[in-house]
Structure 1
């Protein structure tokens, strides 16, 4: 069994090694071999595998998705678990707000760094990756660094009113997650409170990994591009 959540850029583990061996068996070159480290060579090799499947453009960027990894696993004899291991039931999500969290860049940065450490994301996601995309830009655009931010006006503002006085499906917290997204991408060892700064940003990181493969592909995180939903 290979977990999709383990096969990510920058990760080092046995699931990455199994993926590399499968790519090599499929005829894709990885010059350094099956090192167990997902770096640029593995990303390039995985992009080649995606092209072999008929994917083009941004769908063949070397970031594994459930479909392409499952097909690689079927070819090489392993199954793929596409679920996030820390997922919790939506009815376990709590809606109590924070108290005394400062609204500033330094505070947001500290929480973002801890979220990276919890999820295994590189801290370059905070300082900025190659194209400048970073978590702080995303967090500021989403919540203006207000950890108790809640959007009661957009299309998600539906459902019964919760303990925080907002409707169930409203976007909440630093990264403005809806409860479904928070629950599905919840990070093991973090709070089940959607407003908790570390839990909120960690779930956002896991969501970005699962949907985009890397923060570099998230327009909302890129200060050089216009804001956009993510």
Structure 2
């Protein structure tokens, strides 16, 4: 079985090696071979696979999603687990706010780097990838570096009020994740508290990986583009 959460750009593991071997067997070139490291060559080969099964434009971006990976698995003879291994029940999410966290970029950077370490995301997701997209830009736009930020006025602000006084589905924390997204993308080893800086950012990282494939694809994280919800 191959876990979707293991075959991400920048990852090195046996699931990536299985993915690479399947792509090579299907006729897609990876000059370095099945190294187990997901880099530009693997992304290029995977994009070619996506195009071969009908994906077009930005959908053929070389980042595995559940649908395309499942189809590759059916061709190569492996099954795919699309669930995130750290996911929790939405009812397990806790809503206690933080105390004494500064609202400055340096503090946010420290938490973002720890979240990258927990999830396995490259440090470049904080310092900036090839198009300068980075987590700090996303966090500044989403919460102005307020770890206790909660949006009580957008379309998500529905449901019964929780312990923090906000409605259930409000966006919360540094990266403004909603409870359902936090629960589904919760990082194993972090707490269940949605306002916890590391847990909040880690869930956002896992969500970005699953929806976009890489932070470079997220407009809200790109300082050269106007803000846009992610």
- Which ranges in structure 1 are unaligned for 5 or more consecutive residues? none
Match in the other structure for 1:83:
83
User: Could you tell me how far apart the structure 1 residues matched to 2:202 and 2:188 are?
Assistant: 9
Match in the other structure for 1:212:
212
Residue pairs, 1:51-70, within 5 angstroms: 51-70=51-70
CA RMSD, Structure 1 to Structure 2 (Å) = 0.4
Match in the other structure for 2:178:
178
Aligned-residue offset at 1:162: 0.4
Aligned-residue offset at 1:54: 1.2
Match in the other structure for 1:31:
31
Match in the other structure for 1:199:
199
User: Could you tell me how far apart the structure 2 residues matched to 1:47 and 1:159 are?
Assistant: 40
Cα deviation code 1:94-134 (max 9, x no counterpart)? 00000000010100000000000000000000010000100
Secondary structure (helix, strand or coil) at the match of 2:88 reads coil
TM-score (norm 2): 0.99
Match in the other structure for 2:147:
147
Match in the other structure for 1:42:
42
Cα deviation code 1:143-188 (max 9, x no counterpart)? 0000000000011111111000101000000000100000000000
User: Could you tell me how far apart the structure 2 residues matched to 1:221 and 1:155 are?
Assistant: 21
TM-score (norm 1): 0.99
Aligned-residue offset at 1:86: 0.4
User: Could you tell me how far apart the structure 1 residues matched to 2:29 and 2:126 are?
Assistant: 32
User: Could you tell me how far apart the structure 1 residues matched to 2:212 and 2:89 are?
Assistant: 23
Aligned length: 230
User: Could you tell me how far apart the structure 2 residues matched to 1:86 and 1:76 are?
Assistant: 27
